[in-house]
Amino acid sequence: MLSVALIVLVLVIDQIIKIWVKTHMTLGQQYEIAPWFRICFIENNGMAWGMTFFNKYVLSLFRIVAVAVIGWYIHKQISRGARLRYVFLLSLILAGAAGNIFDSMFYGLIFTASSPDYVAWLVPFGQGYAGFLTGKVVDMFYFPLIDTYLPSWLPIVGGSHFTFFDPVFNFADSAISVGVIALLLFCRKDMEPKSKEVDAADEDTKSEQTATPEHDAVKKGGAA
């Protein structure tokens, strides 16, 4: 139940933020919260960070399959009594992936296209800017931690604009990134193949079986 509650919570927060941005900001509009943090509305045609390696249908179907596999794996881990921390982080990753799938599945059906000239609005289902599985993912978090110009004395790139941490991402992307990084830092043992434990158990069993005849012989010798 905790896993389901976490997934629902992340999805609700993610969609509230995306729908507000989609219906209150024009494409490319920015709000500066701090010098190193801005709300910048863009739409992502492909994978996280704007990558476009795959056809949109292929990418959406891949995401759905990935979420299904992760969901099955979480169920399996819960059934075997996995640590709460491990299940929590897996659920965080699943929720983030599902949040971006929701955009692809439905945003094209229920919203008009976003534009730098006007704010998008809701339309009757099926009358939006794209078909099923081809909607664009809404991104908004932008952290230009370093926003400056490179020294002019540098060869080739001197004087050009430089931004450190340039990607614009959303709450769902954050959930995926935090989940993956935390898994690698704190749950590496949980991710190890369980075959090692099984092999060790088998070795212990074989040792006991090997020791049993000798033990019986000692017992018989003592009885004599």
One pLDDT digit (tens) per residue for the chain, 224 residues:
789 999 999 999 999 999 999 999 999 999 999 989 999 999 987 555 455 555 778 888 888 999 999 999 999 999 999 999 999 999 999 999 999 999 999 999 999 999 999 999 999 999 999 999 999 999 999 999 988 888 889 888 888 988 888 899 999 999 999 999 999 999 989 888 765 444 544 555 555 555 555 555 545 555 44
Q: Which of 103, 139, 147, 190 is catalytic?
A: 139
147 is catalytic: no
pLDDT score of 212:
52
pLDDT in tens, 107-130: 999 999 999 999 999 999 999 999
pLDDT at 56: 76
Which of these is catalytic: 14, 117, 166, 173?
173
d(CA 49, CA 63): 15
Q: Where are the alpha helices (DSSP H) in 25-143?
A: 56-79, 84-102, 108-110
Q: What pLDDT shows up at residue 214?
A: 52
pLDDT at position 191, please?
Answer: 86
pLDDT value, residue 201: 47
Nearest to residue 16, comparing CAs of 119, 114, 102, 135? 102
Q: Using CA atoms, how far apart are residues 32 and 34, in angstroms rounded to an integer?
A: 6
Per-residue pLDDT at 183: 96
pLDDT score at 8: 96
Q: Which of 51, 34, 20, 53 is nearest to 140 (CA)?
A: 20
- The pLDDT of residue 221: 53
Contact 92, 6 (CB under 8 A): yes
pLDDT of the residue at 57: 82
Going from the C-alpha of 48 to that of each of 3, 52, 103, 132, 176, the distances in angstroms are 24, 9, 13, 19, 10
User: What are φ and ψ of residue 129, in 5° steps?
Assistant: -85, -10
User: Which residue's entry shows tokens 């800017």?
Assistant: 129
Q: Which of 74, 56, 85 is nearest to 186 (CA)?
A: 85
Give the pTM: 0.80
Annotated catalytic, 103? no
**Contact of 116 with 10, CB cutoff 8 Å:** no
Which residues share a beta bridge with 31?
39
